[in-house]
Amino acid sequence: MYIIDVFSGCGGFTQGAKQAGATVILAVDSWKDALDVHALNHPETEHWHEVVGGDPSLFAGRLRAVADLKVPAGEHLHVHFSPPCQQLSGVNHSRNELKGLALVEWAFQVAELLCPDSFTVEQVRNPLLLRTYAHLPHRIYKMCEHGIPQTRVRVLFGDAPALPLAPAEPILSFLNDVNILPGMCITNHNMKRVLGKKSKPIAYATRDLSQTSFTVTRAQPQLYRNMKATILPIEVVARLQTFDPNYFAGLKMCVARRLIGNAVPPSFAELVVRELKKSLQHELPFTVCPQEAGGRGQCGTHDG
């Protein structure tokens, strides 16, 4: 399987695809810091640093030219899109959902014009997004149900395979080198807005350390005790997002945290690509009807 990764960021989907045995031939993103890290970790991949969202027919034509050159005859081409989620995320209270949907629509247009063997478009589980594209095949994934150690929830449109179920490790198993004090728990204090809590002092949403971590973002999760929150080491945050911490070696902590928080967890991408490859081998359909998108799991999930 040969893959084009559009809105690649620092390479979470690319890394997972490679772990699944796929070849990533092209990565495209406008975020230079992210693409530089992608290129450092995946030097064999071609990289386009550019703003996307222009004429979809021109962009699809350029992708086709790369695919014709780099994908051997008879091999499978998969194109993955991860449009920015900030304008659709529930934790962004100044979000512009129509702006966020515009790049999702653009991704669908490019996929339709390019007509690869398969494609996926990844996004947060936004109500307007799901209503707008309810007619398209999609599947909702709760990461903690597939071994990813956080409560992140994402939707894949397009050729979205069923994934095997696996338990997720608790946050405590990632804190071997962290000083754990009595009464300490994990928090995602941005959730106070989601939960509608505005009490003083701040009402933090918390989880016991025996539970799965909150969704990894630029600043969260954090350790919490006695009304004080402490950021986690970058190595812990990377592992929660299923990256090898060495992937971000040498970066400033603030840059690395932003890259990690915006990435697709590589282990999730690996599962997706492995199941797509299995479907190819057995000539099975990839997609599901909208009604099949699963219900709420037991590990507790939210969209971030």
Segment 263-275, tens digit of pLDDT = 999 999 999 999 9
> What's the total number of domains in the chain?
2
51-90 pLDDT, tens digit per residue, is 999 999 999 999 999 999 999 999 999 999 999 876 566 5
Q: Are residues 95 and 139 located together in one domain of the fold?
A: yes
116 is a domain residue: yes
Q: What is the pTM of this model?
A: 0.90
Residue 64 structural domain: 2-168+262-292
- Cα radius of gyration (the chain): 19
Are 13 and 264 in contact by the 8 Å Cβ rule? The answer is yes
d(CA 37, CA 202): 36
For residue 272, the surrounding DSSP H or E stretch is helix 266-282
Asked whether the predicted pLDDT for residue 155 surpasses 90, the reply is yes
Residues 163, 226, single domain; the answer is no
Residue 291 above 80 pLDDT? no
Residues 25 and 164 in one domain: yes
Query: What average pLDDT does the segment 153-166 reach?
Result: 97
CATH number of the domain that residue 84 is part of: 3.40.50.150
Q: Provide the 8-state DSSP code for 176.
A: T
Q: Quick one: average pLDDT of 245-262?
A: 97
Which residues touch 110 (CB under 8 Å, ≥6 apart)? 6, 56, 59, 60, 63, 79, 81
Same domain? For 58 and 118 the reply is yes
Q: What is the pLDDT of residue 292?
A: 44
Same domain, 158 and 175: no
Res 202: pLDDT: 56
> Considering only 10-14, 71-75, 120-124, 287-291, which range has the smallest mean pLDDT?
287-291
Residue 108 phi, psi dihedral angles, 5° rounding = -65, -40
- Choose between 291 and 14: higher pLDDT: 14
Q: What is the mean pLDDT of the chain?
A: 89
* Residue 90 lies inside a defined structural domain of this protein: yes
Query: Domain check: are 88 and 221 in the same one?
Result: no
Report the pLDDT averaged over residues 45-54. Answer: 97
pLDDT digits (tens, 9 = 90+) for 194-248: 445 554 555 578 999 999 999 999 999 999 998 888 999 999 999 999 999 999 9
The predicted pLDDT at position 297 comes to: 43
Q: What is the mean pLDDT of residues 3-31?
A: 99
Residue 297 domain-assigned (yes or no): no
Q: Give every CB contact of residue 111 below 8 A, 6+ residues apart in sequence.
A: 79, 81, 119, 121, 158
For residue 303, tell me if it sits in a domain: no
Bigger pLDDT: 182 vs 294: 182
Please name the residues in contact with 5: beta carbons below 8 A apart, sequence gap of 6 or more: 11, 13, 14, 17, 24, 26, 27, 28, 45, 80, 82
Is residue 98's pLDDT more than 80? no
Please give the backbone phi and psi of residue 141, each rounded to the nearest 5 degrees, phi first: -120, 130
* 191 has pLDDT over 60: no
Instruction: Please tell me whether residues 13 and 95 are part of one structural domain.
Output: yes
Given the residues 10, 85, 115, 299, select the one marked as catalytic: 85
- Poorest-pLDDT segment among 85-99, 128-142, 277-291: 85-99
Lowest mean pLDDT among 95-104, 164-173, 217-226, 229-238: 95-104
In a domain, 14, yes or no: yes
Q: How many CA atoms lie within 13 A of 221 on its CB side?
A: 30
Higher-confidence residue of 110 and 90: namely 110
Whether 249 is covered by a domain: the verdict is no
Q: Are residues 33 and 101 in the same domain?
A: yes
The answer on pLDDT for 289 being more than 60 is no
**Which stretch of 37-41, 124-128, 254-258 has the lowest confidence by average pLDDT?**
124-128
160 is a domain residue: yes
Burial 48-80 (b: 16+ CB within 10 A, else e): beeebbeebeebbeebeebbeeebeeeeebbbb
59 shares its domain with 116: yes
Confirm whether 289 is a catalytic residue. Answer: no
Q: Are 28 and 89 found together in one domain?
A: yes
Tokens of 69: 């050159």
| CA–CA dist 295, 221 (Å, integer) | 24
CA pair distance 195, 111, nearest whole angstrom: 37
pLDDT attached to residue 274? 98
Q: Report if residue 248 sits inside a domain.
A: no
Give the model's confidence band at 290: pLDDT under 50 very low, under 70 low, under 90 confident, else very high: very low
Q: What is the pLDDT of residue 237?
A: 97
In a shared domain, residues 54 and 163: yes
Least confident of 67-81, 174-188, 215-229, 280-294: 280-294
